[in-house]
Amino acid sequence: MNLLSTEILLVDKPALMSSFAVVARVRRVLTEQVRERAVKLGQTAPKRAKVGHAGTLDPFATGLLICLLSKGTKKAGEFLKLDKRYEATICLGKTSTTGDVEGEICEYNFVDKAIPNTSQVESVVKKFQGEIEQKVPIYSAVKINGRRAYDLARKGIAAEMPIRKVKIYEISVMDYQWPYLKIDCKVSSGTYIRALGEDIGKALGVGGYLTELRRTEIGKYKVSEAKTLDEVMG
């Protein structure tokens, strides 16, 4: 794929890969193309091309990652506050230390609580639509007294996490087969879907954590328009 004239590249990030790793691979391709062009023109090529991204995805997550190339890296600020849409699968009846599959999984004690039926699940999920308060997950990049929260968490240091107001514009149940609940949601920038999954599990009285997360939209950009990493690597 020719990236020389591209400033905004939409990539469908695969699972089990960090956003940084995706950027590194895109940079490698662009750098090679820039060097080849420089040789043809008799110019001096930079040691490596400029590539960044506009909004990270956790390694276990898939979906839309906006990569910014060359002069496009100066446009990062344009993407920071854009709304996003996700599809998320929540495993009910258990919890995770990180709120997702990357943490330590624990059984949730709900002996006196019946397994919720579809009607109950839909009713609870719908209550999250609108402006809600979220506690920022301890495993996040937010700084607490100058240190990243996830660094404190990994060292077992307790920290009081801030509570933020976020907006859930749309949320609906895509599928529910106990213990798995799949939801679709459009949210404001800064919303933690891991926290949303945990809060839904708590509201149902059975606990929950994310097993899958896929970002399908960022503002006007859609994952259906994105290239796979294999297509980019050519």
Sign of CA dihedral 208, 214, 216, 217: positive
pLDDT bin (cut points 50, 70, 90) of residue 126 is very high
Please compute the mean of the pLDDT values over residues 141-164 and round it to a whole number: 77
For the entire predicted model, the pTM comes to 0.92
Q: Is the pLDDT of residue 231 over 80?
A: yes
Q: Which span out of 127-141, 150-164, 199-213 was modeled with the highest average pLDDT?
A: 199-213
Residues with catalytic roles: 58
pLDDT of the residue at 112: 67
pLDDT of the residue at 162: 84
The CATH code that applies to domain 84-218 is 3.30.2350.10
In the chain, CATH 3.30.2350.10 sits at 8-81+221-233, 84-218
Q: What is the pLDDT of residues 174-225, one digit of tens each?
A: 999 999 999 999 999 999 999 999 999 999 999 999 999 999 999 999 999 9
Residue with the two structure tokens 């990236």: 3
Q: What is the pLDDT of residues 35-83, one digit of tens each?
A: 999 999 999 888 899 999 999 999 999 999 999 999 999 999 999 899 9
Sign of CA dihedral 221, 222, 223, 227: negative
Q: In the numeric block, which tokens belong to residue 114? A: 């019946």
pLDDT of the residue at 142: 75
What topology is assigned to 8-81+221-233 in CATH? Pseudouridine synthase (3.30.2350)
Say how far apart CA 41 and CA 64 lie, in whole Å. Answer: 35
C-alpha dist (Å) from residue 1 to 5, 32, 64, 234: 11, 12, 18, 5
